[in-house]
Structure 1
């Protein structure tokens, strides 16, 4: 539920100070200031945000003029005026007022939320993320903050790559006193009817009971409690991820997957949902889907050790599964098993040594026969975008085995360069590095020098880049130099000559 304005606070109470205009915390204000605040409240509720700003400003000036007033009262006035600015789209003034409110009353919930929303509107995603995460330390049930933090996580991954967390300022640790205080910071009624206190209390009781059953290993009982919770609130994602955990413990993998699917429809970067769905897929023996989800977990947070261990295990299971599917024949990179069929639109090609997303041009025959044949140089690899590091590695192996620079160029054209370090993982080798360089030089530098620059930039972020660079021969380094020379000749708005010189130093040229 949104909290960008005083009248749209989360249905969960953040203190006992949210009452109708002039009530609650306003009683400690001088009568004149309390009256101005109440008038501002009414103007805000009627959508007259500019007029409300004037009333709050008068109240602020009056209180400051008197001196010795409670910091809480003044903080609330600044927070309310910030809400008006946010409604008007005046994000700079909103942020300034939130800063003032937080100086007076650190870790106040509403100013943090409003500042986060203003920063997000101005595309200051790192600052917004920090504020949303701070809010969630104070009250983890605020759905607006959860949704926004997940949304921004995706944006930051796209913007900064796998190391996005390193570029954030430290997230402040909220004192316990502030977590208990959870002050409301405004005197407005909610636009939405709040959940009745009785139902909310019942929800908390059921959730706590479910959590207690989990701790005791009584997963069936926990499932029942979480299911009752869902009758009262279908939007709290933690209930679904908790129940998914129970289903996993009970070997009910399909049910666990469904709960995680539900969460990911609401929060498409929920790391617990991805992790538990990956485990569910593992239990269902859908190893490829499991690998995909574990890769998504590590893309969001590369430091999840359990995910790394599980990914290694499931990858091994996937390889065993693929080998079994191929029969007793040993997998060989230079062989691709294909299904030869008569010419028709619905031809089906089965491959084992080749990855998903790479198929050979079909060979027609009057009789459908299946055989293992070497990939001929005259056959062209058709490339589709890999969905994870495993698929990418298989495609690269097929491309490199056949030294198909055109196919490699096709692959580099459809892959977002920012994803390259994650897709390569720790698998960058000299041969792969060189076929990248050659494909970029022969096929792409003349067509899209900006894309070539981006690939070179993000390739330098790959895990084994320094090792590979150190092992290049003189001739191989000359190939890299030639590519940079071509970039200099084909200048593009995406990079300057200074950018190019800086990158050349990274490549030790």
Structure 2
């Protein structure tokens, strides 16, 4: 870097590097200058002292810069470091005490961390620099019975290094590497940290440190180790951050069930956690729970509308929901895997078969328990577990009395269908270890159930109610009390005891205790072999423990009982892929024996067709969703059409508006917008038709009248055009565009009547009246219409650079600045550099300045400012500027003086001054 650049960076610019004349280092010039950047350079030159030290001039320049830009970087000054002399005695004493307190806390935390062995082997950790604490390094070594050497290496003379054999030492190192490279088993990290007798603060330190270790492992893509450290952190102190991080690591490992459980834990600790919702949606998408994933993503976008990850994921989910019917669920029979009724008994005859546990016993056929047509709803919406249900049992079971619950009766086909009926949350049962509630008719907790005495039936019903409310631990306690009371009473009813074990297994599954869930399901199956729900729950528990072979056997057994269980079909397909990857082509040979289900236990039921009310509700819901989608599509298309009009893409806008009208053919604003596009495309007949339709809907729509008048004008029907313009002025006398059009059309009408033929063909009037609101922006449209009308009254608007050059040369040759002003009035400022780039010279620039100053400045100062803002960007402008004579420069200076004296919206005097620096 050069010395000049270095001094510029340090704020010490010189006059030569900044290219500042000496005359500008003056009070008068600084007072008149309004360019902040240039003043900052002057200030830096004055501070450098190159031209001398002028404190008053420096202060004057700083005050002027402060007035123009209070936040200027040039006004910043470095403050010297604070010392004891900068504070009072009390303030300095307080600062010193705070520093000492902080130092003492750091030393205390250091001692605590060493005592807790947070950093691993204590003897290997050196003391923190500057601390007075010491760690007994020999303590652990003595306890291990290892004697450490107390010898210190002797000092060596430089001459001894001459005798050092490098090759020999390298051979020793190589041999040491070969010996040490033998495979050794890495020590296994414990999943739990012993934190007994520690304070909460100490636990928080340890938990945070373990979480940091997990973060480091995650960054290194070692997700297994990251999960272990996050688990250690959670064993010390459960936090939402650790649960969230562990869920993300498990997502990387594709452990969808465990990841879903961690997300649930986060949402229980902190409802509405966006990271947990986003990660749960990711898991649900992978597991096929598309509706619930979409709901979570919408919740995230409602809180963070700019979340691009959630937007992208929601698009993928909605695409999958659109491609696959019923939200991605395949057709087939479904089943609720729960016991929710109090009258769960069977009277079907038993048939000898092999028990799931291995013995040969009588196997009563499972005919399904009365579920009461419980319907599921998405997870974590204020009612407990991930897939708690809507309680419709009372409505569906209102025809049955409490006396019927105590009678043992043969279930009908309808009851069996109700018992096997489920919803799409079956998929969630497999993935998130959550299933339908085992709670039953919570309205009659004292009602007896089968052979259960009233106290035990009450415990069971209370457990059902707690489960329904999401209180799984309390429900588990109630079921355990019922099981203990059942055993103590010596009741001979294996069906009721099996249901209690199955319900408690559901609680264990909800809490993620898969081992106890498997034990209870096995006991339930010993009491009632081939029960459908215990088999499903045990299969889910096996799958969560990654014991895929046993899970596969249970799922296949479920399909023998009822082939219509869609959850089992999906799980079998998924586990088959895992077993093929794990065991290879011979994976079937490694499976345990799949038990044969007797015919009496097999259930092949057909779902009842939905009732008329259900069909009507579905149709109404489908119609409502279709209306919402159509409204959203209409709004999007209309906005896209408006944007196309702003960009001048009128044909694309016509297509967008046409699609809008297919969705809502009675929208008047769309017809007027499309008519505007047709006018731009010179399709006057189509524009007239759209205006006719709009006026049929709204007879007083002045925009439709005005645009139909322009269409009539394009069709040379001046009489009809005059009539529509008069209608516009009758509705709103303040529409100046209509007045000007009426005057022009009146002249054309007289000429056509006098000549006996239609008026001379004329070019289209530019109109721009569309924005993103309900209809269009009239203000922008009026400006464009006014400019176009004025141009059409005098000089025709040029279509290209050649026509513009011809018209400008003709006006300049005749000295007609008014014609030049008309020409500039009809040209967009951004296109002016393109039009004059090939023929720009000093005379052209001078003529443009005269036209702007003599005619356009009084009418439209902002248009003059816009032309000047774009003209200096033309090619060769800087070269032409050097060739201007004194008179031409004086005209240019005079134009900028007049422009700065005008008060107009869109620019300030400071803006004009900054623009003048580019010309003068």
TM superposition score normalised by structure 2: 0.19
Larger Rg: 2
Higher RCO (C-alpha under 8 Å, 6+ residues apart): 1
